[in-house]
Chain A
Amino acid sequence: MDDTTVAVEHVSKKFRRGELHDSLRDLVPALVRRAVRRTGRPELAPREFWALDDVSFTVGRGEALGVVGGNGAGKSTLLKLLGRILRPTRGAVRIHGRLSALIEVSAGFHPDLTGRENVYLYGTILGMSRQDIRRRFDAIVGFSGLEEFMDTPVKRYSSGMFARLGFSVAAHVDPDVLLVDEVLSVGDLVFQRRCMERMREVIRQGTTVLFVSHNLRAVNDLCSRALLLDHGRVTAAGAPAEVTQAYLLASLAGRRDVDGRDAHIARITVRGADGPRTLFQAGERAWVDVELAARTACERLSVSLVVQDGNAQQVFDTSTERLGQRPIDLQAGGIFRCSVQLDLHLAPGTFHLGAILKRYDIEREYDRWAPAASIVIESDRDVRGVANLYPRVVAFEPGPAPPGSGRP
């Protein structure tokens, strides 16, 4: 049996910038213009652009595909094409089985209706029958944790409650293909964790999931595969770790426009005892060299150094000011060098380094370049997370723990 549930074949989507003629008055001249120049229309008319350009991929049953990319890369367009909300300009989208989308929950709710009524309304919109909803009603409400508010109009809900109820309905539709667009960030921490667990469960049950997110950690956690979109094209596809890596590297290689800045960070390099490199052993010593350049005279500057983990979450930061250094004063056209020594007590994985150039007293930010460089940490101990606490087992035998180590 063919296990492909989603097939996207050479899909392109063209959009137009600016306003479309929306009233009859504008239509008539537009039609005339179109009738006049019928021949030889170019592929892309002025103001048109490809939101997606020849995108192809397939997703198998029970697979979770993460889609990452910057704003305007075409992620939402892709989801809308998959959800049949838009139709591709070229190419074809094939979906086998029932599809449901977890896209901005607010759409299905009506503020004047109560929570209970909205569960039925939104459930029906997402394709459940009345009996389906009745059967799952308790599960849905239980999941949302909003039992007491079921008879309150949702316009009196907080935005978090609103989103929680919406997610709870959508998470119980039980489709063959589920599209998720950056909705896991709703609710408090407990609810977010519950959402992640529910997503895992849905994937385990054999649902195909397409997951669009800026939360790279979630993509890495949930997805078995990922693809990177950049200006409508697939620029990387494969294991989530590699793709999210490629995304971060691509964003760090992005054009840095320093022209208008009074002072900027000209260079950031990482080196070991033997010179510049990217591979380090856990606990090894590294030096980060930051070069500053000024266009006009700037005074009282400080340099902050930040370290981010592979998901672009900040895990460490320091600054020359906090390290007790004097403020930096730069002449017009001046250059300044600052090297910081770091002991890399980090868990194995990829980390990114960057720097921020600020003024000491007023919080004016002259330049921010993070991430600017990447390093890979290796360790002989299999620890996970961010920090490396170098664990060593010192007791491993039957018997009670030493006094004072129990719960208070």
Chain B
Amino acid sequence: MTRGVSGRGRLARWWDLVAMLAWRDIRIKYKQSVMGFLWAILMPALVVGAGVAVQYGLGWYAGRQVDTRNLAAVAVKSVPWAFFVASLRFATNSLIANSELVTKVYLPREVFPVAAVLSQFADFGVASLVLIVILAFTGVGASVALVWVPLLVLGLVALCLGLGMFLSAAALFFRDVKYLVDVVITFAVFFTPVFYPVEIFGRHASAALLNPVAPLLVGLAGAVVGGRPPDPGWTAYALGVAAACCAGGVLAFRRLEPWFAERI
């Protein structure tokens, strides 16, 4: 009796949907723009540029020479940070932006925030490739510590997914969430060691690292630029928070999903 569905599992359909929606978002983003896909490189490049400018500024103020290693570290931290920020913004809006689909057709609704994160991840991938090329030229490069990179990136993605699911559902019920997320994200860059090393906090460095994104970024910079493995304690903490976030996000999403169509 169940024609069609028997051949293909739920998971395959789920993945088809996520991939298709992510593809749609990527496609739309660069359609009818002169620069097209170059934006995927330009946006993080601007963020990196801002970070480098901050570095120079700080260096000038302190009267020290700016170290290329510091600049490289800023670049390595800015690209994932840009991904984190864009993912959260985009995922938070994903259900509202797709309200037509939420109210008219039944889909497993978590595909919307997941696809939002995935489409941003594609940009992140392109930007990372460019960054790798630049780093290779500047001679900052390969070490055994690079094996930690996938794990740290995975932690960041998990954090995006968990927060994205929770925030997208919350934004659907309360439009305030959208604005709150915007404000928090705008100021978060000051409290996250993106444009400066975490040591700048001095005695309060631990407090700064409580922000789960911080250990991941610091770990990434350390592994790529410094060639040293990330701090095990803080990394475990960040990954734990990411996993908890993911689980909590999924649970909250599941609980709220039946009311989506009514409350949108």
Are these two chains actual partners, yes or no? yes
In the bound complex, residues from chain A placing their C-beta under 8 Å from that of B100 are 106-107
Can you list 17 A-B pairs with a CB-CB distance of less than 8 A?
A5-B1, A20-B263, A23-B175, A24-B174, A25-B176, A80-B261, A85-B102, A97-B1, A97-B5, A98-B4, A104-B104, A107-B103, A112-B32, A125-B101, A127-B4, A127-B5, A127-B13
List B residues at the A interface (Cβ < 8 Å): 1-5, 8, 12-13, 16-17, 20, 24, 27-28, 31-32, 100-107, 173-176, 258, 261-263
Which of B16, B28, B104 makes the CB contact (< 8 A) with A107?
B104
Which of B5, B24, B32 lies in contact with A110, CB distance below 8 A? B24
Q: Once bound together, how far apart are the Cα atoms of A126 and B106, in whole Å? A: 8
B3 in complex: contacting residue of A1, A23, A97, A110, CB < 8 Å:
A97
- Which chain A residues lie closer than 8 Å to B12 at the CB level? 129
On whether the beta carbons of B105 and A112 are closer than 8 Å, the reply is: no
Chain A contacts with B in 128-145, Cβ cutoff 8 A: 129-130, 132
Say which residue of A22, A23, A101, A112 sits within 8 Å of B28 (CB atoms): A112
Alpha-carbon distance between A252 and B31 when the two chains are bound, in angstroms: 53
**Nearest Cβ in chain A — how far from B28, in angstroms?**
5
Residue A103 interfacial (CB < 8 Å): yes
A96: interface (CB < 8 Å): yes
B174 touches A125 (CB 8 A): no
- Would you give the shortest CB distance from B114 to chain A, in whole angstroms? 14
Say which size band chain A's interface belongs to: 35 or more
* CA A83 to CA B102, docked complex, whole Å: 11
Whether A367 sits at the interface, judged by CB under 8 Å, is: no
Residues facing B in A86-110 (CB within 8 A) are 86-87, 96-99, 101, 103-104, 106-108, 110
Residues of B near A230 (CB, < 8 A) are none
Contacts of A24 in B (CB 8 A): 174, 176
* A84 contacts the other chain (CB 8 A): yes
Residues of A within 8 A of B24 (CB): 110, 113, 117, 121
Task: Give chain A's interface residues, CB within 8 Å of chain B.
Answer: 1, 5, 15, 20, 22-25, 27, 61, 80, 83-87, 96-99, 101, 103-104, 106-108, 110, 112-113, 117, 120-121, 124-127, 129-130, 132, 174-176
The CA-CA distance from A97 to B24 in the complex, in Å, is: 28
Interface SS of B by simple majority: helix
Q: How many angstroms between the C-alpha atoms of A175 and B6 in the bound complex?
A: 12
Given contacts A24-B174, A86-B262, A107-B100, contact A125 B2 (CB under 8 A): no
Tell me which residues across on chain B come within 8 A of A80, comparing CB atoms: 261
Measured CB to CB, the nearest residue on chain A to B1 is A97
* A98:B261 contact, CB within 8 angstroms: no
By CB atoms of chain B within 10 A, which of A20, A98, A99, A124 has the most? A124
B106–A83 contact, CB under 8 A? yes
Among A27, A126, A130, contact of B105 (Cβ-Cβ < 8 Å): A126
CB <8 Å contact, B174 and A98: no
CB nearest to B179 among chain A residues: A23
Q: Kindly list chain B residues whose C-beta atoms are within 8 Å of the C-beta of A113.
A: 24, 27-28, 31
Instruction: Using A1-B1, A125-B17 as known contacts, list a sample of 5 further A-B pairs with CB atoms less than 8 Å apart, ordered by residue number in A.
Output: A22-B175, A104-B104, A107-B104, A175-B4, A176-B1
Q: How many A-B residue pairs have CB under 8 A?
A: 93
Check if A112 sits within 8 Å of B261, measured CB to CB: no
- For B13, list chain A residues within 8 Å (CB): 127, 129
Closest A residue by C-beta to B99:
A107
Partner pick for B20 among A15, A99, A120, CB 8 A cutoff = A120
- Please judge, given known A-B contacts A97-B2, A129-B8, whether A22 and B174 are in contact too, CB under 8 Å: yes
Q: Are B106 and A85 in contact (CB under 8 A)?
A: yes
B106 engages A107 (CB within 8 Å) = no
Contacts of A98 in B (CB 8 A): 2-5
Q: How far is the CA of A30 from the CA of B32 in the complex (A)?
A: 45
What CA separation (Å) do A121 and B101 show in the bound complex? 12
- When distances are taken between beta carbons in the complex, the residues of chain A under 8 Å from B3 are 97-98, 174, 176
Chain A residues contacting B174 (CB-CB under 8 Å) are 22-24, 27
A110 near B28 with CB under 8 A, answer yes
Partner of A121, one of B20, B258, B262: B20
User: What's the Cα separation between A258 and B101 when bound, in Å?
Assistant: 43
A residues within 8 A CB of B2? 96-98, 176
* Residues of B close to A117: CB separation below 8 A: 24, 27
CB distance from B30 to the nearest CB of A (A): 10
In whole Å, how far is B103's beta carbon from the nearest beta carbon of chain A?
6
Chain A residues near B105 (CB-CB < 8 A):
83, 85, 101, 103, 107-108, 125-126
Q: A97-B2, A176-B1 in contact; A85/B104 too (CB < 8 A)?
A: yes
A196 to B72, CA, bound (A): 65
Task: Point out which of B20, B104, B261, B262 has the most chain A C-beta atoms below 10 A from its C-beta.
Answer: B104
Given contacts A24-B174, A86-B261, A112-B28, contact A124 B20 (CB under 8 A): yes
8 tightest A-B CB contacts, nearest first? A107-B104, A124-B20, A107-B100, A84-B106, A87-B258, A98-B5, A24-B176, A85-B261
